Amino acid sequence: MHRASYLGNSQPSAPQSASLISFVDRDAAADVICKFLDAIDAEGGPKTAFMQYAQANAARSLRLWGVAREPAA
């Protein structure tokens, strides 16, 4: 009798362990994202498509987390 197999990934999945899961402080992550967005704004000039994508996703993350971005000083 033949056994079915997936063609995509032939390696077994890694076991998940609770000790490998780490959580990041959302306030600290939001601060890093705000600094990233400030740096992009300070750079000025035209932005590449990748930078526009990164900027939009960063701003989206802040909105989803309910974080209001303060204007840069």
pLDDT tens digits, one per residue of 23-33: 778 888 999 99
pLDDT value of residue 35: 93
Q: What is the pTM of this model?
A: 0.61
CB-CB contact of 70 with 41 (8 Å): no
CB-CB contact of 34 with 69 (8 Å): yes
Amino acid present at 67: V
Distance CA 57, CA 62 (A): 9
pLDDT value of residue 7: 46
Which of residues 60 and 4 earns the better pLDDT score? 60
The pLDDT of 13-36, averaged and rounded, is: 77
Q: Above 50 in pLDDT, residue 3?
A: no
What are the extents of the domains in the chain? 46-73
